[in-house]
Structures are given as C-alpha cells and as structure tokens.
C-alpha cells in the first residue's frame, strides 16, 4: 500500500509549458510517475517533450483518466488553477508555488474540504512514494524504498532527513512535504492518520518548526490514535520573538508557537525529539 500516491496514479501538470513545469514533469516521468499530460489554456492539441497539452483540466482528465494534478503556475494564477482542478473533480491536488496570497489559499482549502479532496501545499516540495512515483520536486536520487514515513513542513529539511535515513540504510515508505505557510492543505494530523493506517509504514518521522500549534495538535492526536513509533525534530529553536524563520507560518509571538512548547508537548506523549537531524536514524533504530 502507498499513501496518496502509487505507481498507477495518473498525473497532469498545470503550467507544463513554463520552465519549472516542463523541467519537473520530465523528472517525474523519469522516476516512473505516470505523467499523462499538461494543461495550458490556448495550447490544447500541442505537445511538449512528448506530453500532450490540453486547454483545461476537465479535458485532460476526460482524455487521460488522471486523478492527480500538480500546479506550477505563478502565484497570482494559483487560485484560478486550483478552482479549475477542483471543479473538474481532481482527487489529489499538489500546489508547489510559493507566495500564494493567504486569502486565495483560504478559499482553496475551503473548497477542497467541501469536496473531500487531498490538497498538499502551497509552497511545498510535494510527495514521493519511493520506488513508485513522485509528484513535485523532491530529489529522487536520495530516496530508498523502506518502512519509514516522513512528514515535514520544511522542504530543505525533508531532503536532509531522507538523505540521512538513506545513508543509514533506512528506506522510506512515503515522504510528504506539507509546506510551511500558515494556511495549507493536509497538515500533520492527516498525514499521521494515513501513516498509521498504512501497512507499509512501521515508523514515522515528523519535522516541525516554530509558529502555530500544529505540532501540539499532532502530539494530542499521536497520544490517542498513533501506535507506531514517532521521532520528531523542531526547527527554529533560536528564533527571537516576532521573527520569521524562512516560512510565513514560522513566527513566534509571545508564548505561542515556541520550539520549547512544541518539544514539551511531543515528549509528553513519548515522541523522541532529536536535537539534530543526524540523530533521527539513531532514534529510529
């Protein structure tokens, strides 16, 4: 079993004619992902690198049977691209674009929640099921199939922990980068639920950061619903109050969202929290 994405998932790329969309469409296909086409209004009927282009998501889905879409369009067009995919009946929507206005994201999240659609992002690296398929920009060269699932707010730290695990001979079952914006689609709890129900996953790594209360809510969920061992890391321990640390959602205001509070909440429910990313493989063993 795979979480959200497997070798049979058919994927379309919204914004495939842009440099990033075209570049990553090829990398996804090279890894084995069934990228069945792209969407660019006004370019329907054309091809790019062997990918058929369609004028709309609905047209692409009808022609290819795609159930997943990845968005590489500029931030100002993300809202319209997402609404189009949602209206067409997409099941999995991954938004890689950063800088999406919060009000636009709020509207998108409301719509996917109403429709029961899985949304990853925005401002995220996407997801990969090692040995099967990937959607987004996670480097395929660092992953290895195995039984450790990873969920992370930080793209860079997602790559770092995957690389550390692979170097330690510990393969991964699913790796999901949920993004660090204050408003997003899937959060820790949704991923933890998927990992708990996934027979291919035996251990879980959660990478959090300062800001918000998602990690504290995840700790509560773990205490009640997760029986598999969880190891965590919280970035931003040295952040000063009111200073963002790389992500729009990574900001400490007073006593809210501090690394100390998150670590305490996780340790209280028997989650081992690493001081350094390099400690994670040792804790999992």
Residues 171-212 have pLDDT tens digits of 999 999 999 898 999 999 999 999 999 999 999 999 998 888
pLDDT of residue 39 exceeding 60, the answer is: yes
pLDDT of residue 247 exceeding 90, the answer is: no
pLDDT of residue 93 exceeding 90, the answer is: yes
What residue segments make up the domains of the chain, in order of their start? Answer: 10-120, 138-284
Quick one: fold of 138-284?
A: Rossmann fold (3.40.50)
pLDDT at 248: 55
Q: Tell me, yes or no, if 24 is annotated catalytic.
A: no
Tokens standing for 212?
Answer: 């918000």
Catalytic residue among 247, 249, 252, 280: 247
Q: Are 206 and 218 in contact (CB under 8 A)?
A: yes
CATH of domain 10-120: 3.40.50.720
**Whole-number average pLDDT of the chain:** 93
Q: Which of 171-180, 208-217, 246-255 has the highest mean pLDDT?
A: 171-180
Q: Residue 2's pLDDT band (boundaries 50, 70, 90)?
A: confident
How far CA 197 is from CA of 117, 120, 193, 200, 252, in Å, comes to 18, 19, 6, 9, 33
Q: Model's pTM, two decimal places?
A: 0.93
Q: Cα(17)–Cα(221) distance, rounded to whole angstroms?
A: 41
The answer to whether 10-120 and 138-284 have equal CATH topology is: yes
pLDDT at 86: 98
């Amino acid at each position: 079993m795979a979480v959200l994405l497997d070798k049979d998932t058919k994927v379309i790329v919204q914004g495939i004619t842009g440099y990033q969309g075209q570049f990553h469409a090829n990398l996804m296909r090279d890894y084995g992902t069934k990228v069945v086409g792209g969407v660019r209004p006004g370019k329907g009927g054309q091809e790019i690198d062997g990918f058929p282009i369609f004028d709309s998501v609905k047209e692409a889905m009808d022609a290819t049977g795609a159930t997943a879409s990845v968005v590489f369009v500029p931030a100002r067009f993300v809202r319209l691209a997402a609404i189009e995919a949602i209206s067409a009946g997409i099941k999995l929507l991954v938004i890689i674009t950063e800088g999406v206005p919060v009000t636009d994201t709020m509207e998108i999240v409301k719509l996917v929640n109403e429709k029961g659609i899985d949304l990853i992002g925005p401002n995220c690296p996407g997801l990969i099921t090692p040995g099967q398929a990937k959607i987004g920009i996670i480097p395929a060269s660092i992953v290895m199939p195995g039984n450790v699932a990873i969920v992370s707010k930080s793209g860079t730290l997602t790559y770092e922990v995957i690389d550390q695990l692979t170097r330690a001979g510990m393969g991964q079952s699913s790796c999901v980068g949920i993004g660090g914006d204050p408003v997003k689609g899937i959060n820790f709890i949704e991923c933890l639920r998927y990992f708990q129900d996934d027979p291919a996953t035996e251990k879980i790594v959660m990478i959090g950061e300062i800001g918000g209360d998602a990690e504290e809510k995840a700790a509560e969920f773990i205490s009640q619903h997760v029986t598999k061992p969880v190891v965590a890391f919280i970035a931003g321990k040295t952040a000063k109050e009111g200073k963002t640390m790389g992500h729009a959602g990574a900001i400490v205001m007073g006593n809210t969202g501090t690394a100390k509070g998150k670590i305490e909440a996780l340790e209280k429910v028997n989650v081992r929290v690493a001081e350094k990313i390099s400690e994670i493989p040792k804790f999992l063993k």
